Structures are given as structure tokens and as C-alpha cells.
Structure 1
């Protein structure tokens, strides 16, 4: 089983408003991220909420996802990752970490990463676009205990450095893997891309 953890608990401090709730077309950013995941070979989607959780929850309540709340979201991304990890299915063999502000990642790209993980023996599979490593990243469930020990405002980046010799980088034709929304300029750029 491949389980996806969507990290969507952040406070969007640089943007000044919850980026998960920003509109892109007929949907919000978080709805687009979830819809893309649900259209892939991922078998379980866990969405970790924190800041403005009740508003986001209303938007995604009808989706086939498990929602969990990170009461410690102000302490950084690692707390959301741990919250998501505590909810994954015991049969999970791969953990796909998805950022809640990456609506442009194509479902084909996600499936490509899953297929590369299943075909290989590497502990980690990550996309690369024009030489830049991006997200989402797939981690072997064998790394779960180490992922639960991460602290601070980072995801599992330190494991990427630690296991650099056991990473498969997959070159993709999808700029969405390196595009996330941190500022108003990013959001305006996103609107230009989709229109």
C-alpha cells in the first residue's frame, strides 16, 4: 500500500492568508492537491491540518481522505509529518509526502514516482525537473521510525541527506514538482500558468 501524507497545516506567514484556501479556477489549492492524489495509484490519503483547520476541513469533508489535526502546527512541518505518520495504515510499504501548496503536480508524475519506487530497491524516490530536486518524495516505510524522530520546521529533508546514496532521482517533465506557493507573487504566477 502507498500512503500519501498531505502537509497542509502551515500558517502561510509569508503570504498573509491561508494558501490552502486560495482559489484556482473552480477549486481551492488544497482541493486541487487532493483531487490530483485521489486520481493516482495512491491507496490512502491523509491530510494533516492545523492553521484554519475548520475552514479547510469544510472544503474537503466529502473527499475520500482521512483528516487529522496537528495541534502543534506552530512548531513546524516536522510535527505535521509525525501526525500524518501516526495515522497511516500498518500495511503501508511506501509513504508519499505531498506539500499542500503544490497543485500543479500532475497525477501522471505521481504514478511515475510510485512505479519507480516499486520497480527499484532504493529507500527514497524523488522527482527532478531540469536538475532541481522537487516534491512529492516517496520514502520506504522502513524509514518510518526515523521520520518520527525528525524535529523543527522541516519535513524529511534530513533523511534525504542521510540516505543520499539510496535515493532514486527521477527526471520528470513536470515543473509542478518545483513550484509551491509561499508569496503573493507565487500565487499570481500560478494563476498565470493555469489560465
Structure 2
């Protein structure tokens, strides 16, 4: 059991017999009445996002998620294939189970596959990935010192806001949790 006061983004909990990941949470202390926690939860099986309010200090079950190291192999459109690094067993997941992760998957990437009671419920990417910029507007001399940003498309097709000095061919580090540019490598 875990208290709603201990919620954090990414926590996996059980509510009404379903497995949810906490996407957002906010502790609210109104001037009158009891405090509560307003959350946005994502169902790991269906992908549906719901909003739910809990009383402050209410106890909920923490979902026990098993993680196994997997290697991303390839995709054939809407199905993505992974291989267990120890047993060499292959797993196929539909695009819907991967959410935004497809933006950052590269061939042979090692990820954590998430299992709940023997059922595959998704994957967890490394916190940071390094990807090559394949398309962006050229930086204009003199603009780079002033700061600012522009959009860039990386090799996986993800669109990222980058500083003006980033050019086509540069390799950049991206935070997979937020989709934000971190640095040029």
C-alpha cells in the first residue's frame, strides 16, 4: 500500500482492479475542507487516460511490475519486435502499447519491457537517447548568440525544439521522459 501523499510521476498503482501509471498529480489544500490529491492516470492495458481525485493520505495498492531487459529489433508498421537479452525469446507489441516511445526507438536499443501478472503492459526507455538531426532550418550567423530555438527532426521522426546552433548531421541528446533537447554530443 502507498499513500496518495507519496505519489510521483511514473508511479504504477492499482485502482479498481486496473493498472494505472500516474501522469500528473497535484496536492490541493483548499481554505475550507480537507486536502485532496488530483491526478491524471493512464490505464496501462487500454491506454485510456482518466482524471481521479483521492483524499489526502488515502491508501492505494502499488502495482508490482516486473522489468526485463529487451533489445529492440524492428517494426513492420504497427507491430514492434523485441528480443529478451537472456533467453533470446521474441516479443511483439502493437504500437498502441508503446505510446510515445516509438519516437525514440532505434535499432538494437536496450529497453525495459514491463510485465504485470505475466501480461506485457509496455516498455520503458532509457532516460536519455542520442539521435542524429536529419532536418532543421539552417542557423543564421549572429542569431546563435542571442539564444532562441527552432524545430528539428531526428532520425526516428521525432520533432524536437533545439537551439539555433544545431545543424543537420549533429547528434543530440534528448530526455525521453519530456522530449526536451539536453545537449549536442
Higher relative contact order by CA 8 Å / sep ≥ 6: 1 or 2? 1
Indicate the structure (1 or 2) with the bigger Cα radius of gyration: 2
Q: Would the TM-score normalized by the shorter structure come out above 0.5?
A: no
Q: TM-score normalised to the size of structure 2?
A: 0.23
Q: TM-score normalised to the size of structure 1?
A: 0.22
Which is strand-richer, 1 or 2? Answer: 2
